Every structure is written in structure tokens, then in C-alpha cells.
Amino acid sequence: MDIAFFRTKPYDRLWFEPLSKEYGCRIHFIEAGLTADTVVLASGSNAVCIFVNDYVTEEVAEGLASLGIKLILLRCAGFNNVNLDATKALGITVLRVPSYSPAAVAEFSMAAILTVNRQLHRAYTRTRDFNMSINGLMGRDMNGKTAGVIGTGKIGQCMIDIFNGFHMKVLAYDLYPNENLDAVYVPLDELFEKSDVISLHCPLTADTYHLVNELSIQKMKQGVIISNTSRGSLIDSAALIEGLKNGKIGGVALDVYEEEEGLFYEDVSNKIIHDDVLTRLSTFPNVLITSHMGFFTREAMQAIAIETLENAFAYENGMKLLNIV
């Protein structure tokens, strides 16, 4: 199988290049993202492999179909960036990596929460300038506080375990509750009202779009800490800014952002940033923004490569497709 691998970074080649030989694949690494203008780069391939910021619109899907491509390999769990109605109509199969390292994302989320709460990012900047004052850096104990986990799939389950390790009371919300978890399922409004910390781990769907918005923020505790390592559009950024300005929100850890395309994963340090919302968010001392890297561990990257190529192998050999979207 010939695979056009879009949005290639050096760390992708580290894992995919040697493993491709084991699976009998030929990978054509392409630095550009998949768009209507770049779809032609997949000519001669049997499949494309894309990441979270490659959007398969109806136009892109039609472009792939015109090249005879019938397989899209998502090297990620989410699939909100693919127009599934268009791919289905064109006979294009979409395979994803539903689980690679749930612990990686959950551990990162907790690290970000602790950083925001104890203001480690600010302390680090101060001490590098030999400003050893701790004034203004006071945090709160996590022990005994209430954590709310929205989405209790594999990542959410790891998050619950971590919160329990900090001796927190854990509330959970999910459309499909798992009663075997050490958490108390409650209605979403109750979770908003009672949680000192809220961590988002649900997929982006029509129902979860802007789940955190002006109304839900009004229901939250004063000084609540919010962490999002899932999808940026779970949060209404304008409402988030208002919540930060009026002090309702005590801290935010964002590993994702709803307008991250063209910014995250790229070095834009020498460019003028035209996104006023992201620029405004970066001015708050109690906001930590990272570049969609919650998954980024050696174990997760290896697992993503293996599962993606397993998907390609299964498709090529007419095997059962376990990860079809």
C-alpha cells in the first residue's frame, strides 16, 4: 500500500518510517496539510494518513475520490475533522486510532491543572530572572476538593484515577455511565455547580460544541479551574475570556483551541498573530496554553504508529476493520 502522509513532522518519521517496512507499506511523507489545494499530492497513493488539523471537507473528499483513494487513516482518536457523510457517499473508508495512551493525556491534564493552580509557569519565569519573590503565586490544596470529569472514556477513566490519587471527590458526567468507576455520576449542571476543577475528555459533536459557554460558566463555582485536552470547540473562547475577566474562573489550562489550525504544531514566533482571541487569552497570568501536545509521549507515538499501520494492513488484506468510523 502506498500512503500519502500529510502534515509530517520529524517525530512522525521517527516511528512511522521503520515500522512501515515491517507492514509492507510505502509512505510518502508530505509536510503540507491536506486541503483542497494539496490533495493532488496524494496522486499515485492508495490511502492518505492525516492528523487532527487536516479537514476532509466535501471538496477534499471528492478530490481524494477522483484520485482513486478509498482509505483515510486518522492517526488520532477524534474524527470531527472529517465530513463522514461525504466520505460514506463516495465509498471512502475512514479508520482511526481510538486508544493509544489514555494515561499520557490524563497525566498531562493533571500536570497542567497543577501548573495553573500553583502557578509554576510564572514561578519558573521569575526565578530565571532571579526574582525569588513568591508574592502573588499562592495556590490551593487539591486534597479534599471536588473534581468534575466530563467524558468517561479511557482517558476520562485515567483522569478519575489520578484525581482519586489526590484524595479528591470525583464527579462524572457521560451519556453512557460506567458504574464500575470510582466516581459519582451527576447531571451536567450539578457537576458545573459543585466542581472546583473541571477536566474535559469528551469528543466534539453537535451536542458538545461550546459545552462550556456563558450559561454554564455562570453555574460554576467562583474560582473554578478548567482544563481542556480534548477539542478546542468544547469551549466558547469569548465566554471563557469574560469568565476570566470577571474572576469567575480562577485558572485555565488549554492544550487545544477552537481556532488552532495554522497555529498549533507550527513555529509562528516570527509572525504577526491575527487571532485576537488567542492573543487575549495569552495575556492572563492564570491561563496556560500549550500546543495540543497532551498525547505526546514516546509510548503514545509508538502506539499511534502501530495502530495506524495495523489499520492499513487490515484494510489491504480484507480483514475485519476494528477501528472503522
What cell numbers appear for 277 in the block?
Answer: 482571541
HEC string for 174-227: CCCCCCCCCCEECCHHHHHHHCCEEEECCCCCCCCCCCECHHHHHHCCCCEEEE
The residue from 96, 201, 260, 307 that is catalytic is 260
- Whether 210 is catalytic: no
The residue from 7, 231, 258, 307 that is catalytic is 231
Of 184, 182, 177, which is closest to residue 158 (Cα–Cα)?
Answer: 182
For 16, counting Cβ atoms within 10 Å of its Cβ (0-12 exposed, 13-18 middle, 19+ buried), the class is buried
What cell numbers appear for 212 in the block?
Answer: 462550556
What cell numbers appear for 142 in the block?
Answer: 487539591
Rounded distance, CA 25 to CA 68, Å? 18
- Whether 22 is catalytic: no
The H or E element containing residue 21 is helix 10-22
Phi, psi of 264 (to 5 degrees): -70, 145
Task: Return the axis-axis angle of helices 298-316 and 10-22, rounded to nearest 10°.
Answer: 40
- Whether 96 is catalytic: no
Distance (Å) of CA 165 to CA 118, 196, 199: 18, 16, 15
- Burial letters for 258-277: b for 16+ Cβ neighbours within 10 Å, e otherwise? bebbebbbeeeeeeeeeeee
The residue from 96, 201, 292, 307 that is catalytic is 292
For the annotated catalytic residues, the residue numbers are 231, 260, 292
